[in-house]
Amino acid sequence: MKLSIQNLTKTYANGVKAIDNLSLEIGTGMFGLLGPNGAGKSSLMRTIATLQRPDTGSLTFGDIDILNDQTELRKCLGYLPQSFGVYPKMSAEYLLHYLATLKGVKSKTDRKKLVDETLNITNLFDVRKKDVSGYSGGMKQRFGIAQLLLNNPKLIIVDEPTAGLDPAERSRFLNVIREIGTKSTVIFSTHIVDDVKELCTDMAILNGGQILKHAIPQDCLKEFDGKVWSGTIDPEKLEATESTHNVLSSHYNQDNQLNIRVYSQTEPVGNFNRAVPDLEDVYFYTLKEDEAVLA
Amino acid sequence: MFYSIFKQELSYWFTKPLFYIYCIIFLIAALLVASISAGIFDEVSAAVDSTKIVNSPSAITGMFNSLSTLIIFLYPTIFGMSVYRDFNCEMHKILYSYPFTKANYLSAKFLSALLIVSIIVLFIGIGLAVGFVLPGTNDQLTIPFDLIAYAHVYVVYTLPNALLYGSIVFAVVLFSRNLTAGFVTVIVLSLIQGLTDVLLQDPENRILAAYLDPLGYSATQYYAQYWTVAERNELHLPFTGLILYNRVLWLSIAALISWAVYRSFYFGQQALSFSFRKKSSKRALKSNYGNITQVKLPKVAYDFSFLQNLKVMWRLSNMDLKFIIKSRPFILLSAFGLIMIIVEHSQANVVRGTGMLPVTWKMMRYSEAFQFAMIVCTFLYAGLLIQRAKMTQMLHLVDTTPVQNWMLIGSRFLAVIKMQLVMLLSVMISGIIFQISKGYYDFEVSLYLMGLFGTNLWQFVIWTFLAFFIQTLIRNAYVGTFVLITLFMAFATPLLAMVGIEQAVFVYGRGPGTWYSDMNGFGESLSAFYAYIIYWILAGMLLLIGANLLMDRGVPPSVRERLSMIKSRFQGRIKVAFLITLCGFLSMGFRIYYEDNVANPRASSKEKEAYQAEWELKYGHHMGAIQPRITAVNTYLNIFPETLDFKAGGTYQLVNKSAVAIDTIFLKYTNYYSSFEFDQSTETISEDTIFRFNRYLLTESLLPGDSIKLSFKVWNKPNTFLSEHSPVLSNGTFLNKHKLFPSIGYPGGGLEDDEVRKEFGLPALVPSPIPSDTAALGNHTLSKDADWVDFETTVSTSLDQTAIAPGYLQKEWVENGRRYFHYKMDSKILNLYSFNSAKYEIKKDHWNDVSLEIYYHKGHEYNLDRMMDGMKAALAYCSKYFSPYQHKQARIIEFPKTFGNFAQAYPNTIPFSEGRGFIADVDDSEDGGVDYAFDVTVHEMAHQWWAHQVIGADVAGAGVLAEGLADYVRLQVLKQHYGADKMRKYLKYATDKYLRDRGNDRKGENPVIHEDNQPYIRYSKASVVLYALSDYIGEETMNAALSSYVEQVKFQEAPYTTSLELVKFLRAASPDSLQYTITDMFETITLYDNKMIHATSKKLANGQYQVELEFQVSKYRSDEEGNRSYGDQMDGTGQNIRSLALADYLDIGIFGEQTKNGVTKEIALYLQKHKVTSIDNKLTIMLGEKPVSVGVDPYNKLIDTESKDNSMKVKEIMR
């Protein structure tokens, strides 16, 4: 099913325009929503997840008019917020039963089957009797996935789920997401480019409440092929280089020199080598382009 | 560092709206309390009583005290919040690693919160001070602003209490990191305070109460309890003795808590937690490197049908209930609530030291404290359930599920209702346990269920609706709870009535209550009760729909968004449901309004004042008009218990006993339908159905000695489901003639407050004529239209009931399926009679040739023997000492407590409330209280002499002749039964009542002979002084005097006797040396201030004990406002003691101990009256036995405001 966003705008009471006349279409598969902190990712996802109303615009998912029939959407929605808490002193099993009830699972045996299976999928079965409020960050995030699965969702929204996870947790988490993302529409917001690289079939870069780029990752990389260059410079020369080159990123290396990557249609002046384009290059390039427009 | 935290805290509060909301709430509350008490709404509501200064220092303290419950609920949100804030936003993780000391941190937090609380409560003072002088207030009720009075309250009570409660709440929240815990703490503290209040009601325990009350007001009360009106209006409250000790005690506790907090606090990341289970500690290992799993969810059925949604709502409510029941606030509050109930069960309904059997209707009642705990739980959990997802940040998980809003609200609402059911169930279980513990096994489970769930529950349900609305609107569970408590308390006070909102239909949740009696069950109270409940539930459903519209789902919207959200939600089914409910609510409201205003015209209290004034203005000139007097009464009363109707009527034989011809007759009749007919031709001058007063012109004047017969019929308006127009009950009807039948002449009555009278142009109220006014002796106190009458009546009732009226049963028969009883009296009686009808059991006995009967409700057999003994004892005492009993029969008839908890003496008939003596739980042991089943019977039986033989003229002092002497008989009979040395116990209650009530008398106190309808004088003081006099002149001498008095005045016609005549007989019987007692006790208000100063004993060589005593005696007169005077005073040597001149006799008693069967008892070794002529006295007395304690007037026969210092322990001096 297709999620379609038309001319969405949301301005908060403090005057911040979090979503600015945004239109976007998202089909089945993993969709990566990339953007820096404060870009409006969470606002957009909360709006899709029926947690807040936009000022203007329309939202549909398949036949469902999300703004006017929130309940219909909620029936097929799986949402994992950026951060969440749970009722204290309650076990994962109890809470999942509770949420399964809220999600309309009718019979007790069904609930039990479903809850046990989600606990297995998220590898929480052994700790199902433990209070979720005492879980570690990774376990809690897995609990988030478990609850999300309870209604066999068609639209899954996960908001920066990998932030703060250790490498093993992150990898495991991404695997589960990939697994469930094959049949549903999954919107996955992150500011970690690697997540998108590893997972997504479609992506968009968001900043200042607007979509800056909407493309398939492979296409992006093809587009950038031959236009990204890397080199090493003295840190003191960074500013000078930035004024003459479109510097996408810079990293210190062990020698206290800077490895930098620049964008250029032709071979840039200086000691640069052609580099294999990376999604990160696309990301930084897009953000920079936008900044230039604003400036 | 201290300063910067402190400043930061203050600026936090000053930017929070909550701070200003609190200031405004307290300002408005204080403004209202002050201006209303100062009469600002006199224009729209009834006027305020005009003799008390409303802003006197003690009144101001009282107002602060009454607001203290509200004040203590500030503490969790301010003291608690100041620390909780750091945990809640996890600031503590950063803050606690900063380089400040814990002393800095804690003191800055605590002191800033204290300052904020102080500022908020300062607004109470400002509100009061301004409220008293607002334009429109009555300046006669106030005195000029008195800074010291306000400063006193703040310095002595409000601020120290903030310090105490604040430090406790601060400590609790600091260590539990839980704001709810702070909230629960204050509730528990206020319950404890309520508990001590209950436990310490007995006068003996008041000193203990003065120490234990954490708020300190009981200590003040200890000193002010016997203050007179004058003292209350003028004096500043003391700050000495117990008050000082109380404050020092509790402030030390506050200091101790603060110190403990300081010592045990450390900047840690984890909250302190307690667990009874021992936790095993294990090394935590992570094992999350599992394989990639195949996600294959099992196929399950999802159902979103309406029926399924209802089931889900039910399931969710059970889960919410589980949360409530497992949470600490609930456990704590219910536990304390139950403790309160148990304590109150053992204390409640104690009359003169004797309690009541644990009958079920008493067990199913719970105190206001428990009710408060329940209502606070309701408010708190409504808020916590609504805000729980947000507070734990689980909000977004819950809100994105397809559950409907109404299911969430509905489930939480149901959970709160179920919580109430659980709490009420615990009342029932604790009641049954209490009954078992008392060996009472008559468990009426169905009554418990009906009382708790059928009736009491609904009030909570109705408030639950409002709680859900307010909590949804306010979005902060604690602030919401505070607002709801404020509303609840404001609705419970007469505040609304005072601003002119008097009808229940306009006050959310209000309505008629239910009443229960063993005899009549819930009777007729239920239909109107349920009508109002339905009405308010409809209102509540509107509120719940409102909550549904307002409910947050997802990110909290701004105000603008909220409004548009409401608009978009208010459609479809919700709109239809709302409109249908609104129609139901309005039509029900209209029906009630119609019933109370149109079908049965209603007068507001303001209108009632005008009405009373008009009555006097229109007819007052008929006061004292000469009227024929009733000489014979023949009535009938048909009682229909099935339909609650009655039809009555009868005839009065009226005789012109005056020396002039009478041409007009005035009839005052009751509020029932009535019709009248004279047997001679008359012309109606006026027929006034508003004032129920008709005037008739006789065609031929009634000449002296001539008679005329009045026939009348009285019947009731048909009853409706909302109003009862008849006093008939289905079982246990009790009526007297005043309630039913007309009277002759202008009966008087009208406005009593002189201020209000002035407003309507009426002269100040004339007090009852004094007894020396011989022109006023034409009527006796019990009826203005008759002297002694012949009496005859026929009463009918349903087949299964017995109907009783004064007189002897002439005939009993059945006709048309109804029972008829014909009663006739063989001698003339006062024009005073009653009717009873119920399903009765009868107990019979006799005393000499007088037959004795008790008509009682089946199951109430407990104290019948005691009541029989009471009748016999009174008959024996009174006929031995005064005169023979005038009837051949005496009957006690039980009536439902619906009519009150009293007993009343009619000729040969004593209606006796089921709640008075029938279920008294008498303890016959040494420490037991007064056997009131016995002594009330004695009192009422004595009325057959003191009222039904000797009746006083309708002037001041008449109460002594009836109530004073009946109660004197009671005391004498008690002495006979229990011995003179037990009398202290019985006198204590009467003296205490007298001393307390004289301070609240707005009429001003009178001496006994001028007592003017003042119960604390006619019952309490009169009986005490009559008993004391008999102790001085001897019981036999006293009773001989009374006997000759009875002989002289019994069954007399006008002019009737007065208190002066009684005193003349008493004076004649007293020796010269004791004439002063008559003056002191009866003719003036005289009090003593007696005190034992020093007592030692020395064992002499011959085995004798030499007891040296030193004591002070002081006597003073009091004027009607309580100002003391000492006449040509004597000065004492000691401190500043003054006294009237003394030549008085006082008991000096010396007491030893005697151990019998292991029980140590006090015995009197020496009891003699000593003549005392000076303030300071010394005595030496030789005794054969070892003295333990001594006393001056040790039995408290004389009236002394400080009776405890009359006795003291003897210090033994070794040789």
Contact state of A104 with B292 under an 8 Å Cβ cutoff: no
Q: Looking at beta carbons, which residues of chain B come within 8 Å of A112?
A: none
> How far apart are the C-alpha atoms of B983 and B342, rounded to whole Å?
31
A46 touches chain B (CB under 8 A): yes
From chain B, pick out residues whose CB is under 8 angstroms from the CB of A75. 302, 304, 402
Distance of alpha carbon B862 from the chain centroid: 27
Name the A residues in 138-177 with CB < 8 Å from any B CB. Answer: 138-139, 142, 144, 147, 149, 151-152, 168-169, 172, 175-176
> How many contacts does A have with B, using Cβ atoms within 8 A?
145
Alpha helices in B843-890 (DSSP H): 864-881
Kindly give the parts of chain B with pLDDT less than 50. Answer: 275, 289
Q: Provide the strand spans (E) within B673-807.
A: 673-678, 682-688, 693-702, 707-715, 733-736, 743-744, 786-798, 802-804
CB proximity list for B520: less than 8 A, separation 6 or greater = B729, B730, B731, B732, B896, B898
Report the DSSP pairing between strands B1207-1209 and B743-744: unpaired
Residue B118 is encoded by which pair of tokens?
């102080």
Q: Looking at residue B289, what is its pLDDT?
A: 47
- Where do the domains of chain A lie? 3-215, 222-294
Question: What's the first-to-final CA gap in chain B, in angstroms?
Answer: 68
Say what the pLDDT of residue B457 is: 94
Identify how many contiguous H helices and E strands chain A contains and give both numbers: 10, 14
Q: DSSP string of A95-124?
A: HHHHHHHHTTB-SHHHHHHHHHHHHHHTT-
Q: A87 and B394: CB-CB below 8 Å?
A: yes
Say how far apart CA B231 and CA B249 lie, in whole Å. Answer: 28
Beta strands at A155-159 and A77-80: parallel, antiparallel or unpaired: parallel
Q: How far apart are CA B36 and CA B46, in angstroms?
A: 11
Q: Considering only the beta carbons, identify the residue of A85, A86, A121 that sits closest to B293.
A: A121
What is the third-level CATH fold of A222-294? Alpha-Beta Plaits (3.30.70)
* Cβ within 8 Å of residue B372, ≥6 positions away: B187, B190, B191
Mutual angle of helices B405-437 and B328-347, in 10-degree steps: 40
ipTM score for this prediction: 0.92
- Alpha-carbon gap, residue B213 to B247, rounded angstroms: 10
Count of beta carbons in the 10 Å neighbourhood of residue B745: 20
Find the helix or strand (DSSP H, E) in which B1137 lies: none
Q: Which two tokens stand for residue A144?
A: 């988030």
In whole angstroms, what is the distance from residue B111 CA to residue B363 CA? Answer: 45
Residues 6+ apart with CB under 8 A from B1108: B1094, B1095, B1096, B1097, B1098, B1178, B1179, B1180
B302-331 residues touching A, CB cutoff 8 A? 302-304, 308, 312, 315-316, 319, 323, 326
Query: E strands within B766-857?
Result: 786-798, 802-804, 808-815, 818-824, 829-830, 834-838, 841-847, 850-856
Write the pLDDT tens digit of every residue in A172-204: 888 888 888 778 899 988 888 888 887 888 999
Q: Which helix (H) or strand (E) holds B771?
A: none
Verify cis geometry, omega within 30 degrees of 0, for the bond prior to B911: no
User: Could you report the per-residue pLDDT of A209-231, keeping only the tens digit for each?
Assistant: 999 999 898 888 888 888 899 98
Q: In this structure, what is the dihedral angle of CA atoms B426, B428, B431, B436, given to the nearest 10 degrees? A: -110
Angle at Cα B475 formed by Cα B469 and Cα B480, nearest 5°? 65
Domains and CATH numbers, chain B: 2-7+17-264 (no CATH), 306-556 (no CATH), 624-747+787-839 (2.60.40.1730), 845-945 (1.10.390.10), 954-1084 (1.10.390.10), 1086-1215 (2.60.40)
Beta bridge partners of B733: B837
What is the token pair recorded at B215?
Answer: 């708020």
Confidence tier at A6 by pLDDT (50, 70, 90): very high
Rounded distance between C-alpha atoms, residue B516 and residue B994, angstroms = 32
Determine contact: B1103 vs chain A, CB below 8 A. Answer: no
Contacts of A175 in chain B (CB under 8 A): 292
Q: Phi and psi of B1156, rounded to 5°?
A: -130, 125
Burial readout B1177-1187 (b: 16 or more C-beta within 10 A, e: otherwise):
bebebeeeeeb
For chain A, state the CA radius of gyration.
21
Which tokens is A195 given? 């997540």
**Structure confidence at residue B1125 (pLDDT):** 87
The H or E element spanning position B892 is: strand B889-895
Comparing C-alpha atoms, which of A103, A128, A104 is closest to residue A118? A128
pLDDT at position B1075 is 95
* Top-tier CATH class for A3-215: alpha beta
Task: Count CA atoms closer than 13 A to B158's CA, side-chain side.
Answer: 30
Joined together, the tokens standing for residue B903 give 């007993």
> What is the Cα–Cα distance from B371 to B337, expressed in whole angstroms?
8
Taking the CA of residue B962 as centre, how many other CA atoms within 13 Å lie in the half-sphere pointing to its CB?
25
Distance from CA of A128 to the nearest CA of B (A): 14
Question: Cα torsion at B987, B993, B999, B1005 (round to 10°)?
Answer: -70
Contact check, Cβ <8 Å, A102/B558:
no
**pLDDT given at position B280:** 57
* Structural tokens at position B169: 């709440």
Q: Is A139:A168 a contact under the CB 8 Å cutoff?
A: no
Averaged pLDDT for residues A138-157: 90
